[in-house]
């Protein structure tokens, strides 16, 4: 076998000018294996979203060959604090210029700017697992998608809506744009792993703005209100039109988005979706792995997992602020040696946590745990277990029992969840 030839790129990496935006979009579409040429409408729409000094391109002989952009985001930490995040998206390198270090150079530039700006973390949704660990990102939330076989779920076929005084109503997109943002704010302020949504998110998700010219199917929207009339949940879903040869309906509901701020709303919306006449399958969309859903069904085995995968990846830029921003259910101290050779987060710090607050300070004491910054990201939102990471050799215990103590402090009773893709 011959050794791989290392070709480094001398392509220039810089912010994209307004005149270069169409070429940048062509490169992005090419990298994502979509038809390269964008319509005027797509160019205008994308242009409206780009923040000039946070939109990077690599240029070779005047042609854009790599794309990268970031924007300001708020990520909810354990306990509900919103931390400033550098959200990264539209990452692509044209196939003719791959593996020459272009992504590494764009990432280094963006992360340095994020650190200078004072962002606590950077976030992204990874197209492929092996790409981002090298830059200090770790998988901090996971997603599970289920397919519910409705006739097998053991549900009462006479279900006629909530019996606790709440109600479910179908509304249209305009209603969703009015009531959705406030409901989502209530959810994301209590949901570790959630990120903020812009007005544009609601416009895109209700079809007012068509992002890339792809065909639009108007979803159905179901709203749950509690007994006092307060909006507590919202589901957007589409349905196909499938019938058997024997003239039996076999329709599948596909959930685009379902958010709820009370268990009653969650229950009412899932039971609503599973009780629509003609519907024999419900595809859940990406939920938290410990979502209530399967257990809202009398027979949870009727919900088959389709996907179980990493979702939000986090790169901690400021360990002190990240650990002080979140809350802790118990009290304890932990000395962490964070390894971050290429980044700003390395060093030894002592975390002193109580349910009332936490402090994190540099120390010369002996470390309890040594871990890479990417592993800290997996622990920070409460999802991962230090004991498990130690068994995998990804966290090193410097004191016997330290991983167990770390779990007692850092893990949360419910898993984090990021409902959004960006």
Ligand X SMILES: CC(C)(COP(=O)(O)OP(=O)(O)OC[C@H]1O[C@@H](n2cnc3c(N)ncnc32)[C@H](O)[C@@H]1OP(=O)(O)O)[C@@H](O)C(=O)NCCC(=O)NCCS
Q: Which residues are catalytic?
A: 132, 422
Nearer to ligand X, 315 or 321 (CB): 315
> Smallest distance, Å, CB 19 to ligand X?
23
Binding residues for ligand X restricted to 357-416, rule: CB under 6 A:
none
C-beta of residue 373 within 8 angstroms of C-beta of residue 387: no
Contact flags string 287-326 toward ligand X, x per CB under 6 A: ----------------------------------------
In angstroms, the CA 257 to CA 290 distance is 17
Of 28, 56, 85, 91, the one binding ligand X (CB under 6 A) is 91
Paired sense of beta strands 220-225 and 167-171, if any: antiparallel
Neighbours of 170 (CB within 10 A): 11
Nearer to ligand X, 125 or 297 (CB): 125
Encoded tokens for 353: 């946590």
DSSP secondary structure letter of residue 22: H
Of 100, 197, 281, 287, the one binding ligand X (CB under 6 A) is 100
Please list, residue by residue across 359-379, b when 16 or more beta carbons sit within 10 angstroms of its beta carbon and e when fewer do: ebeebeeebbbbbbbbbbbbb
Measure Cα distances from 325 to 55, 370, 373 in Å: 29, 21, 17
Quick one: which segment of 85-93, 184-192, 286-294, 325-333 binds ligand X (CB under 6 A)?
A: 85-93
Of 101, 136, 233, 419, the one binding ligand X (CB under 6 A) is 101
> What backbone phi and psi angles, to 5 degrees, belong to 68?
-170, 135
Should residue 73 be labelled a site residue for ligand X when binding is judged by CB under 6 A?
A: no
Binding residues for ligand X restricted to 110-169, rule: CB under 6 A:
126-128, 130-131, 134
Nearer to ligand X, 93 or 336 (CB): 93
Should residue 341 be labelled a site residue for ligand X when binding is judged by CB under 6 A?
A: no
Quick one: which segment of 16-24, 98-106, 299-307, 410-418 binds ligand X (CB under 6 A)?
A: 98-106
Nearest CA to 91 among 103, 105, 109?
A: 103
Instruction: Classify the C-alpha dihedral 386-388-392-393 as positive or negative.
Output: positive
List residues binding ligand X (CB under 6 A).
31-32, 91-93, 98-104, 126-128, 130-131, 134
């Amino acid at each position: 076998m011959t050794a791989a030839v290392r070709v480094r790129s001398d392509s220039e990496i810089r912010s994209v000018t307004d005149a270069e935006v169409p070429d940048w979009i062509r490169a992005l579409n090419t990298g994502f294996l979509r038809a390269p040429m964008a319509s005027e409408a797509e160019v205008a729409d994308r242009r409206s979203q780009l923040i000039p000094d946070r939109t990077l391109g690599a240029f070779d002989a005047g042609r854009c060959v790599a794309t990268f952009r970031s924007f300001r985001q708020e990520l909810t930490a354990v306990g509900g604090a919103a931390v400033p995040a550098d959200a990264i998206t539209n990452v692509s390198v044209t196939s003719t210029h791959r593996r020459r270090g272009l992504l590494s150079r764009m990432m280094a530039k963006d992360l340095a700017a994020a650190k200078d700006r004072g962002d606590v973390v950077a976030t992204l949704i990874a197209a492929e697992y092996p790409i981002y660990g090298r830059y200090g990102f770790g998988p901090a939330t996971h997603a599970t998608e289920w397919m519910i076989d409705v006739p097998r779920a053991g549900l009462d076929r006479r279900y006629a809506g909530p019996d606790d005084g709440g109600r479910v109503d179908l509304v249209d997109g305009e209603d969703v744009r009015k009531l959705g943002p406030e409901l989502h704010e209530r959810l994301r302020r209590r949901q570790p792993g959630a990120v903020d949504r812009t007005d544009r998110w609601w416009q895109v998700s209700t079809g007012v703005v068509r992002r890339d010219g792809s065909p639009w199917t108007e979803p159905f929207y179901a709203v749950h209100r509690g007994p006092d009339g307060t909006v507590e949940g919202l589901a957007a879903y589409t349905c196909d039109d499938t019938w058997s040869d024997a003239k039996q309906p076999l329709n599948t509901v596909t959930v685009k988005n379902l958010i709820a701020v009370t268990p009653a709303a969650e229950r009412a919306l899932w039971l609503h979706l599973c009780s629509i006449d003609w519907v024999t399958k419900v595809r859940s969309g990406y939920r938290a792995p410990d979502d209530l859903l399967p257990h809202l069904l009398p027979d949870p085995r009727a919900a088959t997992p389709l996907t179980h995968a990493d979702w939000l990846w986090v790169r901690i830029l400021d360990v002190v602020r990240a650990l002080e921003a979140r809350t802790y259910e118990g009290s304890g101290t932990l000395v962490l040696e964070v390894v971050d050779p290429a980044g700003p987060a390395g060093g030894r710090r002592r975390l002193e946590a109580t349910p009332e607050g936490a402090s994190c300070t540099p120390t010369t004491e002996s470390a309890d745990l040594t871990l890479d910054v990417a592993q800290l990201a997996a622990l920070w939102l409460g999802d991962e277990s230090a004991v498990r990471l130690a068994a995998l050799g990804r966290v090193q215990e410097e004191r016997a029992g330290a991983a167990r103590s770390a779990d007692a402090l850092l893990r949360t009773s419910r898993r984090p969840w990021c409902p959004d893709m960006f």
